[in-house]
Amino acid sequence: MASHSKVKASSSVAVTGRSDVNTALFTPKKHAKFRGSLKALRILDQQGPLAQTHIAQDLGVSPPAALGHFRKLDKEGLVVAVDKKATAGRGRPLELWDVDRQRNFTIGIVFTPPEVNIAMADFADNIVLQQAYDVGAVETCAEVEALIEGFVVEANEYLSKRIYDLRFACACLPGPVNMPIMPQIDIEGVFRRHEIPAIRTPISTAMLFGEARRFPAESTVCVVDWESGIAVIPCCGDRVLFGDESQYTSVYNRRKICDFGHQRIVKDGRPCPCGNRGCLEAYAGGRAIIQQLNRPNIRSLSDLCKAAQSGDAEVLRELALAARYIGSALSQFVLLMGIDKIVITGPLSEVFSLVRQDFNDGLRGFLDEPEVENLQASVSPDPLGLLVKGSCRAARHLFLNSDLPLDITFLPKIMMTGS
């Protein structure tokens, strides 16, 4: 059960410099012991249960060498014997091994201002701890770091009683426009104090591992996060079709194709929080819609959804216009990227059914009717829940690939495509 609390500043949590996205991962001593055996663990994760002889063949090593990897992984509680398989001859049955999915855990953090959700899940995707905090009034990094620290302490207490292991943490963040202090929060430092590798990633990481995983691996899915701003992630399986590693670096404001919400749709149009004018977000993002309405009873995305669901004509008119803008912007994108399906997630997905026709009208700007129908734009069944679960899955993915260079295992696959 998620709980909500007001976070107070903690003097015991120091504010230190954070790492950039493309910084080498911190490797605790306890993980360094088996890092060379992670390739065997990846094979088990993808193909298991398997016998050691099969692992040896896939690794291209001798059975004794494969046995050495298994011994390391077994000693660290990463693998478990699950069954025995009879051999063709008279030999003893082969012992089958798999990743120990019940004893190994990750932490996922999802910032969706004004909330931050933190969860811990096992390698079988079962969430065992989860907290939600209101950070809308937070002004210092120490306050956010304190709540993360508190959750980590609780998680370690839970795991120590059961002799389980916490392997990795992944924090998924929107662009700094949504929370100005976000780039300075030392998330990695909090986990480093507990000897846990951690990394910050864009919110699209959680979208990929939460939403896109629901579709067949061969599908090209476009996930649209409709909230204060607009983020889009086009992916096929676990791969993003293009990426940008610069979200928290000095080149953040460069204009890039993956900055979907900040593509210009009106020359010399409305000012956008990114500093430019005429961006899609300045017309179709939730923040822009609320500003355009300028009504005292509509100050949040929740207020906006409630007004739309009650039939407020003015609100529905603004949402319909926004949906048409998004559909129009997506219409050429769908053709460019070969998109098969569209998924709408985020807080404003609650009202998508009310403006679906307007969204489809926007798509028809460059798509034929059969193409619009085949896209079958759908709404996420659980926008926040899938984001949280996706952040835990992303942490697991990163742990399993942490023996490889970060730019190979991470950046090409799960980087930002919006803000």
Question: pLDDT tens digits for 141-169?
Answer: 899 999 999 999 999 999 998 889 999 99
Task: Tell me: do 174 and 199 sit in the same domain.
Answer: yes
- The verdict on residue 374 lying in a domain is yes
- The verdict on residue 418 lying in a domain is no
Task: Tell me: do 180 and 154 sit in the same domain.
Answer: yes
How many independent structural domains does the chain possess?
3
The partner residues of 220 in beta bridges, in order of sequence, read 236
- What pLDDT, on a 0 to 100 scale, did the predictor assign at position 252? 34
pTM: 0.81
198-202/165-173 β-pairing: parallel
- The verdict on residue 73 lying in a domain is yes
Angle between helix axes 203-210 and 383-400 (nearest 10 degrees) is 100
Task: Tell me: do 179 and 160 sit in the same domain.
Answer: yes
- The verdict on residue 244 lying in a domain is yes
CATH number for the domain spanning 37: value is 1.10.10.10
220-226/230-236 β-pairing: antiparallel
Task: Tell me: do 228 and 359 sit in the same domain.
Answer: yes
Task: Tell me: do 222 and 131 sit in the same domain.
Answer: no
Task: Tell me: do 199 and 154 sit in the same domain.
Answer: yes
- The verdict on residue 413 lying in a domain is no
Task: Tell me: do 62 and 194 sit in the same domain.
Answer: no
- The verdict on residue 181 lying in a domain is yes
Task: Tell me: do 332 and 352 sit in the same domain.
Answer: yes
Task: Tell me: do 223 and 359 sit in the same domain.
Answer: yes
CATH number for the domain spanning 324: value is 3.30.420.40
The residue from 72, 99, 126 where one domain ends is 99
- What pLDDT, on a 0 to 100 scale, did the predictor assign at position 307? 98
- The verdict on residue 20 lying in a domain is no
Distance CA 56, CA 67 (A): 8
Distance CA 414, CA 209 (A): 9
- The verdict on residue 92 lying in a domain is yes
Positions of the chain with pLDDT lower than 50, given as ranges: 1-24, 243-258, 407-419
Task: Tell me: do 170 and 308 sit in the same domain.
Answer: no
Task: Tell me: do 37 and 63 sit in the same domain.
Answer: yes
Mapped onto helix, strand or coil, the DSSP state of residue 107 is strand
- What pLDDT, on a 0 to 100 scale, did the predictor assign at position 21? 38
Task: Tell me: do 221 and 333 sit in the same domain.
Answer: yes
- What pLDDT, on a 0 to 100 scale, did the predictor assign at position 178? 66
Q: How far is CA 357 from CA 372, 373, 404, 408, in A?
A: 11, 11, 46, 41
Range of the domain at 38: 30-99
- Summarize pLDDT for 335-393 with one digit per residue, the tens: 888 899 999 999 999 999 999 999 999 999 999 999 999 998 999 999 999 999 999 99
Q: How far is CA 70 from CA 39, 57, 169, 401, in A?
A: 11, 14, 24, 17
The Cβ-side half-sphere exposure at 323, using a 13 Å CA radius, reads: 22
